[in-house]
Structures are given as C-alpha cells and as structure tokens.
Amino acid sequence: MTAQPLGARLLLLLAVLMLVATACSGGADDQVAEQDPVLVAKGGELYKASCAECHGSDLRGTDKGPSHLSILYQPGHHGDGAFQIAVLIGSTAHHWDFGPMPPVEGLSEDDVEAITAFVRQRQREEGFEPYPP
C-alpha cells in the first residue's frame, strides 16, 4: 500500500467523520423506500459474493456477523452511508459481540450502493427483527 500525502489523509478522515456523523443518526425516517430493480439485482449478486458469508444469504446473520434485518439497520439508525463506511474502513463492534468488521476489499462505491439497495429492498419486503434478537 502506498502512503498517501498528509492532506489526502486528512481529507479522507474529514469525509469519513462527516459520514459517521450522519450514518448512525437515529431519527423518524425509518421507512424503506422502493429501490431500483436494476440496482437490487446487481446488489444481490454482490451481496452473495461479498457479504453473505458473514451476514447470511437470507440477511439474517450467521455466527460471524449480525442480521441486516435487525431493527438497528433501519435507515434512520444506520443510514446508507454506514454501509459505505463499513466496507471502506471496517466497523468496530458497537451493537454486537461478533468483533470488528474488517474492510471489504474489491468493492467500489457503486458496488456498495447496489448492495445497499438490495439490503433495503429486502428490509422493505420482510420488515425488521427486534433487537436484541
């Protein structure tokens, strides 16, 4: 990995902090909007390849990672930006006892947008599970 100039690292840190400030914002906007079917289809394939091992092919979690159908993943609690952050830099364990999530290599921002659309559509169709499970 090549070292980034200090200015680039500071800019990235600022962008991440801004996303963090909004990604776990909480709020009343917990309705899941209908998603673009093309993005959902692409996201389903990417989810299967990059996320299902830990979060389950049915999104209900495994012994390696939590369910994406948990009420904690409502848009008003973990916004779409939280998915980008988790893939880009990983996530510390803050609701679950699975340990930290490492960054996911090989996914672009557009890929994560498609995965998020897939997850949101499934949440819309299946609803949310209570927390704690």
Domain ranges in the chain are: 32-126
Q: pTM of the full predicted structure? A: 0.79
**pLDDT tens sequence across 81-97:** 999 999 999 999 989 99
Q: 67 and 60 in contact (C-beta within 8 Å)?
A: yes
Q: What is the dihedral of CA 26, 29, 32, 35, to 10 degrees?
A: -100
Angle at 40 between CA 35 and CA 45, to 5 degrees: 165
Q: In sequence order, which ranges of 24-103 are alpha helices (DSSP H)?
A: 37-50, 52-55, 80-89
- At residue 71, does pLDDT exceed 70? yes
Residue 91 to residue 108: CA distance in whole angstroms: 17
Least confident of 3-7, 61-65, 74-78: 3-7
- At residue 79, does pLDDT exceed 60? yes
Give the CATH H-level superfamily of domain 32-126. Answer: Cytochrome c-like domain (1.10.760.10)
Q: 76 and 12 in contact (C-beta within 8 Å)?
A: no
Mean local confidence (pLDDT), 22-48: 81
Nearest CA to 117 out of 32, 49, 50, 59 is that of 32
Q: What is the mean pLDDT of the chain?
A: 86
Residue 110 to residue 95: CA distance in whole angstroms: 26
